[in-house]
Structure 1
Amino acid sequence: MGVGHGLADVKSVRENTPPSSEEAEVAPAKGRKRESSAKKVEPPVADAPTSEEEWAYEVAHAEASTDLAPIVGRNLRRLRTQRGLSLERLAKASGVSRAMLGQIELGQSAPTINVIWKIARALGIPFSALISTTAQTGTRLMRSQQSKRLSSHDGKFVSRALFPFDEPRRVEFYELRLAAHATEAADAHPPGTMENLVVTSGTVEIDRGEERHVLNAGDAILFEADVAHVYRNTGNADAVMYLVMTYAETVG
């Protein structure tokens, strides 16, 4: 029996043999669309903005996403470097690849809303911080009347925040005013906190544990503030100081 002839016979028999009931069930009739028995897999639902305003932003600016690329890029680089994060660390925290983060910072890629949300959560910032144009130039103007002021219960000690109070930070800058002959006691700050203070008016004593330091106008001091400390104005007029506080961890 030749090989070719044998294959032809098998094909002929196969074509003229009615399919079994199992075959008929598996192979549908000719001309009918075959239906898949597998369940349809729904795509994962991405984390979405929760406010209608943010959804409106996505819809209204869908065609202008490329315009956001340089804005998001500048904001991302600024906010990441402020927190001392490398691209690798941010990639691990956000789930966005290092390559993608690099492209976003360079303005070469317009991130989706979902990607922006992932980055914002990893940085611990509002969604709007990455798309805001207020910090586009790296400048933030804070008017005196809009400053956040805190005072002691007797009003003799007043601190004025000279930094954006609504953003995460590791460094804070204050103007301090202490009334004549007034004393302000400060509790210990978190470990690793440093205070760098300069007196611009008056004479101030600073007690840190068993230490005591006297500062006149123009004098400055740097000390670890993770122990209780006291500011004391020994003069007959208000004392004015400027204080830079540096934390070991991001606050706010």
Structure 2
Amino acid sequence: MTEKLNPGVARDIGRRVRALREAAGMSVTRLAQVSDVSRRMLTQVELGQANPSIGTVDKVAAALGTTFPGLLGVVDHAPPAGVQIWSTSDDSWAYLLRAVETPDLSVELWRLRLVGEEGHRVGPTAGAPDSMLHVLEGTVRVATGGDVASVAEGRSGTLAADVEHRITAITPVAAFLRVVMVPRSHR
């Protein structure tokens, strides 16, 4: 499953990227150099014509001195139900429920639901503390390299920050919370 942003979220982020870039007096070309995201992609993001990955948005946010939740405007002000970041036709989805920022960290609370064969990839984040996963419904499989573990409903697990994980549902539907702490210097 490719986790692309919901179109409304992508448009909101595009408007915010443009506003922050212009406020900083930065050209699209300069933002492309600083973020390591192509000028073409940045233009499409700003115009709401692209549906970038969360990783791409993270790079752009860092180059603008903010974070993914900061671009969404949800730091300390998230709607009660959160913001649906992505969804699939099979009804898997991810909501960013809450985010707070300190000078050193962005702390994010996510709620995810996986249906059937769909999965969620968690990439490594250098310098980040490990994240926590708590299963609300069903059972998930966490694959890390050659290691595989399962976490059942009502149980919690830790995801090491320095390696990639693949989370999939073992049961037909699985829902879980994830607490993620990302160093501000990373983004």
Partner of 1:184: 120
Q: Is the 8 A contact 1:170 1:250 kept in 2?
A: no
1:100-115 to 2 correspondences below 5 Å: none
Q: How much does 1:232 deviate?
A: 1.0
Q: Which residue, out of 135, 144, 156, partners 1:220?
A: 156
Q: 1:172 aligns with which of 90, 93, 108?
A: 108
Give me the TM-score of the superposition, normalised by structure 2: 0.50
Amino acid at match of 2:180: M
SS in 1 for 2:128: coil
Aligned to 1:195: 131
2:108 and 2:80 map into 1 onto residues whose CA distance is 17
Structure with greater helix percent = 1
Q: Measured at CA, do residues 233 and 173 of structure 1 come closer, stay the same or move farther in structure 2, by a change above 3 Å?
A: same
How do 1:102-181 and structure 2 match up within 5 A? 140=77, 142-144=79-81, 147-151=82-86, 156-164=91-99, 169-181=105-117
Q: Is structure 2 residue 180 aligned with structure 1 residue 245?
A: yes
What is the identity, as a one-letter code, of the residue corresponding to 2:80?
A: R
Does the 8 Å CA contact 2:126/2:186 hold for their aligned counterparts? Answer: no
Instruction: Kindly provide the amino acid, as one letter, of the partner of residue 246 in structure 1.
Output: M
Partner of 2:32: none
1:194–1:247 Cα contact (<8 Å) kept: no
Tell me the secondary structure at the aligned position of residue 188 of structure 1. Answer: coil
Cα RMSD between the aligned structures? Answer: 3.3
- Percent identical among aligned pairs is 19
CA shift in 2, pair 1:167/1:208, >3 Å: same
Taking structure 1 as the reference length, the TM-score comes to: 0.39
Alignment of 1:28-43 (within 5 A): none
- Residue identity opposite 1:143 in structure 2: P
Mapped partners of 1:215, 1:164: distance in 2: 24
Q: What is the rounded CA distance, in whole Å, between the counterparts of 1:148 and 1:172 in structure 2?
A: 12
Contact 1:206 1:212 in 2 (8 A): yes
1:164 Cα deviation from its structure 2 partner: 4.1
- Per the TM alignment, residue 199 of structure 1 is displaced from its structure 2 partner at its CA by 0.2
In the TM superposition, what is the alpha-carbon distance from 1:141 to its structure 2 partner?
6.3
Structure 1: unaligned runs, 5 residues or longer: 1-50, 52-123, 126-134
Distance in 2 (alpha carbons) for counterparts of 1:189 and 1:142: 27
Q: Which has the larger radius of gyration?
A: 1
Cα distance in 1 between the residues matched to 2:78 and 2:83: 14
Structure 2 unaligned regions, length at least 5: 1-22, 24-64, 67-74
Higher relative contact order (CA 8 A, sep 6+): 2
Question: Residues 243, 215 of structure 1: CA spacing in aligned structure 2 closer, same or farther, 3 A cutoff?
Answer: same
